[in-house]
Amino acid sequence: MSTRLSEIYRAYEGLFSDVESEFDRVRNMFIDKMQCRKGCSSCCNQLFAISAIEAAYLSKAVSELEPEQREAMRQRAKEYLDNLLGADSTQDPDRESTGRESTGRQSQNWENQSIEEHSKVVREALGKKVGIHHIPCPALVDDACAIYGNRPVMARKYGIPLWNPNNPHQLQACELNFKRGEVIEGDNLIEPQMILEYRWLEFKMDLHDELKLPDLVATVESAVVFDYQSLLEEHITESQ
């Protein structure tokens, strides 16, 4: 691993450590409601996007697994992506006029795509299926995460009432912890999350600009199958 990638990982680890500290603070405010514990994997059935740095950190963890465990996880991830990307295999109605292949047809061959090409079909699938696509994460083994220490930022904070910059006037929370429509009140809930969110966005933007990264969108499953760590290394080398 290059010195620069080690530095990037350390900065990322500092950020998610602060996210976890905030999770613990808020969890303690609502300790009587919180069901989050080992063995509860409801949040691990959600579909969400992750960034290039999160994907690289996950790819690193997968590469360090024992060969049999790594292959089993990759097989589960491939099945997940087959389901996510292969479900919509209809022809693009505009194909005759554009001469382009539909995203659905492209998704059937996702294993042969570059990471950049994969990102495009993932982005479209996320746009259609977030909130309605619920399949267990391939990192789950007996309802526990096999790469827990390398899980993405969303997986480190899901469960507490969350502030979302795309829906800033309403806190979102796991329905195992808070009933739908329940009024959530607590001291200093929003401002610390806002600060963390904008620190996280700034970190990703600075990294994108420094390494001249393409506009990538991934999922946990993408990071299990593709090697995002090598992609970052390539861009580090090119940027020096």
Long-range contacts of 188-193 (CB under 8 A, 24+ apart): 189/26, 189/161, 189/163, 190/163, 192/22, 192/25, 193/22, 193/162, 193/163
pLDDT at site 108: 54
pLDDT at site 92: 39
Between 164 and 203, the higher pLDDT residue: 203
Residue numbers of the domain that contains 164: 3-239
Computed over every residue of the chain, the mean pLDDT equals 85
What is the model's pTM?
Answer: 0.85
Distance (Å, whole) CA 130 – CA 163? 18
Q: Is the pLDDT of residue 89 over 70?
A: no
Structural domains in the chain (count): 1
Contact in structure between 45 and 139 (CB atoms under 8 Å):
no
141-158: per-residue pLDDT in tens?
A: 988 899 999 999 999 988
46-69: per-residue pLDDT in tens?
A: 888 999 999 999 999 999 999 999
